[in-house]
Structure 1
Amino acid sequence: MDEKTSTRKGPEFCSLRYGLALIMHFSNFTMITQRVSLSIAIIAMVNSTQQHGLPNASTEGPPVDTLNNPSRSMKEFNTGASVYEWSPETQGIIFSSISYGIIVTLIPSGYLAGIFGAKQMLGAGLLISSLLTLFTPLAADFGVILVIVIRTIQGMAQGMAWTGQFTIWAKWAPPLERSKLTSIAGSGAAFGSFIILCVGGLISQALGWPFIFYIFGSIGCVCCLLWFTVIYDDPMHHPCISVREKDYIVASLAQQSSSPRRSVPIKAMVRCLPLWAIFTGFFSHFWLCTIIITYLPTYISSVLHVNIRDSGVLSSLPFIAASSCTILGGQLADFLLSRNLLRLITVRKLFSSLGLLLPSLCAVALPFVASSYVTTIILLILIPGTSNLCDSGFIINTLDIAPRYASFLMGISRGFGLIAGIISSTATGFLISQNSVFSASRILCLGGGTSSSCPLPSTCLACFFTSHLDK
């Protein structure tokens, strides 16, 4: 009876594991700001932006501020920084280059993190990404090729940092708290998107676009110090954990497989339909998320005709909703599980279906409500918010079905997602180069159609989960 009680009760919000979730939240915040920094800075970096209406100006007519003061649009970023002649196609390649880097390291880093421990690998990836962010303005002066190389290497570093997190949670997160802990950590990405979109334009206007990279690269270096000091691979070796919390975590994970065997059942994984459902979910989810993160300022400016400062603020609003929905979704999922209101399989299917279907419907509806400013903003806020419900669905599902291989499977899953990101970034850059206004009104519709054009979110995905979670 005492052992059963100890597995149900344990210190929560004042505990070390929630402190680790906050550190990971900060780490994810740092990595996403470093990744999105270029999407904001390129507005000021590229001279052809204002001439051709890309990526943050309309070809139908200039913003209101430009009508009143035609020289303001260029002067507001005239802080002595260099300006480059990069075509929309080149910009699309630059945006997608970081995804090429991430996809190279996702699978091997996930496997190696499970063997050697995630702390050193994640910390090294975060440090390399931060240093390369600081170096990006100098690289731009040497040419676009070096920028693409820097972004690719930075993607490799971030791939190391993203994947190994699930190795840590496999040893730190009690089953009934996994949604909470991973959602707190994962919400850092949405919150980071909110911050960089909100303040990136202001930083560029006040200090110059290079300071976007300098500021968020420096924040990453500080985060590395915090990471190496606080994070440990498992609770057994952490010097600051309480005995009560350590016993609670160990007892909660007692049912989990702990075999030291390192072999990975590749053949069984290839034949596993539930895993292919997860991979497909990642592909659909990342397709829409990549378009949102990369081209949301373009869409808002082209369709709503607002200046760059207001565009940045409006672009940031959807991600504060996404951050909130991530945390609330995790809390709700674990509440349903802890109260035995729904089975684990039902919770994962429910959040997976909602996280794929709802944002897809909102994205598909955007071209039809473009004439309504308020409706467009509401839908843009709902897309990232509802999309992040997937964090309590198939995204966390590898921890449920195969905790020992969680990082390896997460690497493969994110690989499928990044393939979608590469295709969507490159294709969107090409579409915008053809006709910015015509394409902008259909970019997000294309992203929504990818995940809503078949009944996978509500039927196939749910069926695939059933056989594996019932095991």
Structure 2
Amino acid sequence: MKIHRCRNSNPINDFHVGTALHTEKSYPVWMIWKRRRYVVATMAFFGFSCVYALRVVLSIAIVAMTATTEVVHIDGTITQVPGFDWDSKVQGYVLSSFFYGYIVTQLAGGWLAAKYGGKYVYGIGIAVTGVLTIISPFAAKQSYYFLIALRVVEGLFEGVTYPGIHAVWAEWAPPLERSRLAAIGFSGSYAGTVVTMVVSPLISNKLGWEAVFYVFGCMAVLWFLCWCKVVADSPSNDRYISDSELSYIKNSLGEQQVSRIVKHPWKSIATSIPVWAIIVATFSEDWGLYTLLTQLPTFMKDTLHFELASTGVMAGIPYLVMAVTTPIAGKVADSLLEREIFNITQVRKICNYAACIGPAVFLLAAAYLISPVGTTICMSVAVGMSAFKWSGYGINHLDIAPQHASVLMGISNTFGTIPGIVSPIISGYIVTTPTDSQWQTVFIISSCIYILGGIFYGVFASGELEPWAVHMDKTKDDGEQRAS
């Protein structure tokens, strides 16, 4: 099937219901596993569950690691066992250390994934991080410097995961299903966060805080073995894919099919306004997310006076909401495109407004309510609305430059990692007593950054294929160049 379109057209606007794009064999909902692209998305879901479990586990465990515990001996005597003597500033550096390494490998991960495919880049990044998590208790007992160094190395390996999965989406996700497939995978991030926040305190109370690292580290290694067995690096290399699905994916991608031999136009990328819109949106959204991810358990303990187990459960509720709303947001975004209610640029901007303005408002409300019910509801709404980012800027790389999507993800995520480094440290310097007003200052900063990022993206973002993303290939038939 040949697809003819003008140089700067967007493939989503070129396909219509009833064309060859929609001739894939249909299956009942309960047989969705027969569609291999959804198998890939499901495995990505569990992969991102591991990604965020490994990332957030320290934020939960550090509460127990720095607490004084009571040990009841057989004779009835009670001994007070002090935890690690880490003040708020040291804890800020420990929690942010992961991102020192994470920021370094974003671009390298994107380049590797574009050249060699995303399957192993994504998988190995998670597997090695899991192994390093297993030895984290040993590192912590030596010194917090050793733990910081280990977390930096963990960040180096996990830094390739998001660019790696974008290379997978570029080969597996048809244009009209990008939002929902990516949303299924990325929602695993929040499911993993919920499970970690809820289960970690229980494991810590029963088996000690060290067991938390062992459990989630082993889960990541087990997932990697399943990922290697189940997922192929491209539809063409999947021996289980049906002919109809393979044809559907290839026809829908058309001239956007990924080539492993591609030169990246670095100057054009660096001067592209839509690319910078994605970068600014990523920075602002990640500032709010990382503030909550690293500080929410401590905030719950300090202001609402929850015990460790309650802190994990309450802090996990907002991410449970996000795990549910992320695939819903993806479905809504794709439906708007399929029905031609809005074009791709409008859908991306609408979703991004919801992901920035909404959280900003409810984050401020949570900071000033300071009540178990009110704060939890506001936090849940704030984090739940953030789910729309994966149907906004989070998948926008594939719209403007699918051949370079993994590299663009690496670039934007490099800037998005800066908040992970800076936010916990700033919070550590602001929240020293702690008091309600200090925590309010932390959330005011996050809300302002949310709003600024949402406005910038709304003005400058685009969903159209960028001119520099149209590369020249040679046809085998006539040797003439054609735009692709």
Could you tell me the TM-score, scaled by structure 1's length? 0.89
State the match for 2:120 in structure 1: 120
Deviation per residue, 1:203-225 (Å, 9 max, x gap): 11111101100110111111011
Contact 2:258 2:402 in 1 (8 A): no
State the match for 1:399 in structure 2: 398
Among residues 8, 24, 34, which one is paired with 2:22 in the alignment? 8
Contact 1:133 1:214 in 2 (8 A): yes
Do residues 323 (structure 1) and 323 (structure 2) align?
Answer: yes
- Looking at structure 2, the residues matched to 220 and 261 of structure 1 have their Cα atoms a distance apart, in angstroms, of 31
Change (3 A) 1:93 1:229: same
Deviation per residue, 1:204-259 (Å, 9 max, x gap): 11111011001101111110111111122210011111111111111111131656
Aligned-partner SS, 1:241? coil
Contact 1:345 1:469 in 2 (8 A): no
Deviation per residue, 1:177-207 (Å, 9 max, x gap): 0001000000000111111111111111111
Contact 1:170 1:399 in 2 (8 A): yes
Deviation per residue, 1:384-405 (Å, 9 max, x gap): 1101211100110001110110
- Looking at structure 1, the residues matched to 385 and 259 of structure 2 have their Cα atoms a distance apart, in angstroms, of 37
The code of the aligned residue for 1:33 comes to A
Change (3 A) 1:8 1:451: same
State the match for 2:275 in structure 1: 275
Deviation per residue, 1:41-100 (Å, 9 max, x gap): 1111114xx6xxxxxxxxxxxxxxxxxxxxxx6459x99998321221111111111111
Contact 1:119 1:231 in 2 (8 A): yes
The code of the aligned residue for 2:343 comes to R
State the match for 1:358 in structure 2: 358
Contact 1:325 1:385 in 2 (8 A): yes
Deviation per residue, 1:125-165 (Å, 9 max, x gap): 11110100111011111111110111011011111222210
Aligned-partner SS, 1:239? coil
State the match for 2:64 in structure 1: 44
Unaligned runs of 5+ in 1: 51-72
Contact 1:28 1:186 in 2 (8 A): yes
- Looking at structure 2, the residues matched to 314 and 441 of structure 1 have their Cα atoms a distance apart, in angstroms, of 19
The alignment of Structure 1 onto Structure 2 pairs a total of residues equal to: 442
- Looking at structure 1, the residues matched to 259 and 219 of structure 2 have their Cα atoms a distance apart, in angstroms, of 39
State the match for 1:457 in structure 2: 454
Could you tell me the TM-score, scaled by structure 2's length? 0.87
- Looking at structure 2, the residues matched to 155 and 222 of structure 1 have their Cα atoms a distance apart, in angstroms, of 20
**Cα deviation, residue 299, structure 1:** 1.3
Contact 1:303 1:441 in 2 (8 A): no
- Looking at structure 2, the residues matched to 376 and 258 of structure 1 have their Cα atoms a distance apart, in angstroms, of 46
Contact 1:364 1:446 in 2 (8 A): no
- Aligned identity (percent) is 33
Contact 1:195 1:316 in 2 (8 A): yes
Contact 1:201 1:312 in 2 (8 A): yes
Change (3 A) 1:201 1:75: farther
State the match for 2:177 in structure 1: 177
Contact 2:396 2:463 in 1 (8 A): no
Unaligned runs of 5+ in 2: 4-17, 73-77, 468-484
**Cα deviation, residue 436, structure 1:** 4.8
State the match for 1:439 in structure 2: 438
1:228-247 alignment to 2 at 5 Å?
A: 228-247=228-247
- Looking at structure 1, the residues matched to 213 and 341 of structure 2 have their Cα atoms a distance apart, in angstroms, of 47
The code of the aligned residue for 1:354 comes to A
Contact 2:400 2:462 in 1 (8 A): no
1:298-313 alignment to 2 at 5 Å?
A: 298-313=298-313
Aligned-partner SS, 1:282? helix
| Structure with more of its chain in helix, by fraction | 1
The code of the aligned residue for 2:38 comes to Y
- Looking at structure 2, the residues matched to 239 and 383 of structure 1 have their Cα atoms a distance apart, in angstroms, of 42
State the match for 2:205 in structure 1: 205
State the match for 1:150 in structure 2: 150
